[in-house]
Amino acid sequence: MKKGKFIGMGVGPGDPDLLTVKAVKTLNNIDVICAPKSAESKPSLALSIIQSVLNQRINDYITLEPLFPMIEDKNELQEYWKEASKLIIEKLDAGKDVAFITLGDPTLYSTFSYVFKLIYDLDYETEIIPGITSFTGCSAAAKISLAEKDEIVVIVPKVDGRLPQILEHGDTFVIMKTSRHTEKLKEIINGDERNKEIISVQNCSMKDEKVRNGFTEEKNYLSTTIIKFNK
Amino acid sequence: MKKGKFIGMGVGPGDPDLLTVKAVKTLNNIDVICAPKSAESKPSLALSIIQSVLNQRINDYITLEPLFPMIEDKNELQEYWKEASKLIIEKLDAGKDVAFITLGDPTLYSTFSYVFKLIYDLDYETEIIPGITSFTGCSAAAKISLAEKDEIVVIVPKVDGRLPQILEHGDTFVIMKTSRHTEKLKEIINGDERNKEIISVQNCSMKDEKVRNGFTEEKNYLSTTIIKFNK
């Protein structure tokens, strides 16, 4: 029997209309959808984004919702990824195509990459469908250009000790999950004497999207701060 | 009379199926499409990407194709941008909505941003629709993850003197238009002693897409090299 294909699919930042045509076409026919969740009680945000597409399907599909808890221990996490890949491989071996959905793009800061490696190494047919990244969703919402001409853009997923070092070498900084470390970020950015424009976006492209000048004050997982140093 | 809305729209890296649903919906109804071209004899690549959508339209639309030559002189370029914005404003004042289409995403290295500023400052209603960026198109084509966990991604639009300085501070480098400067890039990257994975992609998501390990050898405008330093 022909084995199924494993597809990684970005569903974009939140607005279902920011799905690609390719993602919608795939979702209309896919046998199995894999949508990990971080806790048993917490439905997958990525799954909610594609729900309106799934609601229009005529034929049945299977949904896998493996648990990927938000823990730091990589050894423990690996067990969860292996467990998820087993569930997926079972479906692939039965000839079913599986789409693993991720918020934003599957190649940027996604747990998809760990599961993908496990399955790719076993020689299954694979495909990656890119998605709108949260940070271009944020710049679109804020109506600012991220970069022009020869400007360098730096994407920093976490405010940590390396940020001050790289700061002077780039022009635009996209800092993710900033609401966790607003004070630390303020201190680092204000320490740079160049002229700057600071814009924060929360829940980009969703109904409760917020765009503001300056740093984020509220706690929110989906917070991004864009800092543009003007030459 | 109600004035028209000015919309910046990313059409993605090349495959029409990488348009967003929002872009397709907008293109089905928009009054005017603005698709700059770099030379009179050179049709817009962005326009060719949306052609299949436009071919299915029932009602008429207008296409504006202002000239944005590939020159370096910013003063001279500004005249072209002003000229384009005049053409667009004429349509907006006549109550027509205008979509300015750009390859990839409109907020990343697009001439759209210059025209947008001119029109935004005049208080017209505006919107930006994000597009799939060429570099996530490239990582998807190459089936690699760009970054995981706390890894820093640096986007470098041009191989220049700043690259060696920033190199040690990031984990993944996306270098655009690399075929122009392959030798210089090789020298800089090989000067970094960390383990690295180098992948080049040309014409990502198009029919003649090429993915290869190492640097680009052919001359091609749409060449991107991804360098991942492994920790």
ipTM: 0.95
pLDDT in tens, A82-129: 999 999 999 999 999 999 999 999 999 999 999 999 999 999 999 999
Q: What's the pLDDT score for residue B231?
A: 63
Segment holding B46, helix H or strand E: helix B45-55
In this prediction, residues B43-71 reach a mean pLDDT of 95
Domain with CATH 3.40.1010.10 in chain B: 5-129
Average pLDDT of chain B? 94
Query: Contact, B209 vs B15, CB < 8 A?
Result: no
3 state DSSP class of A49: helix
Contact across the interface for B148 and A109, Cβ inside 8 Å:
yes
Residue B178 has pLDDT above 90, yes or no: no
In this prediction, residues B90-95 reach a mean pLDDT of 98
Q: Distance (Å, rounded) from C-alpha A101 to C-alpha A12? A: 10
Chain B residues with CB inside 8 Å of A141's CB?
128
Average pLDDT of chain A? 94
Fold classification of B5-129 (topology level): Cobalt-precorrin-4 Transmethylase; domain 1 (3.40.1010)
Residue B124 has pLDDT above 70, yes or no: yes
Total residues found in chain A within this entry: 231
- Which residues in B37-62 are b (16+ Cβ under 10 Å) and which e? beeeeeebbbbebbeebeeeeeeeee
Domain with CATH 3.30.950.10 in chain B: 134-229
CATH number for the region B134-229 comes to 3.30.950.10
3 state DSSP class of B96: coil
Residue B146 has pLDDT above 90, yes or no: yes
C-alpha distance from A106 to closest chain B C-alpha (Å):
8
Q: By CA distance, what is B120's nearest residue in A?
A: A143
Q: What's the pLDDT score for residue B173?
A: 97
Q: Which of A192-206, B111-125, B175-189 has the lowest mean pLDDT?
A: B175-189
Confidence of residue A143 (pLDDT cuts 50, 70, 90): very high
Residue A214 has pLDDT above 90, yes or no: yes
Beta pairing class for A223-229 and A172-176: antiparallel
Contact across the interface for B107 and A139, Cβ inside 8 Å:
yes
Residue A70 has pLDDT above 70, yes or no: yes
Query: Contact, B182 vs B218, CB < 8 A?
Result: no
Confidence of residue A177 (pLDDT cuts 50, 70, 90): confident
Contact across the interface for A130 and B126, Cβ inside 8 Å:
no
Residue A230 has pLDDT above 90, yes or no: no
In this prediction, residues B206-216 reach a mean pLDDT of 93
Q: Any idea of the CA torsion for A32, A38, A44, A45, to the nearest 10 degrees?
A: -140
Percent of chain A topping pLDDT 90? 86
Q: What's the pLDDT score for residue A231?
A: 62
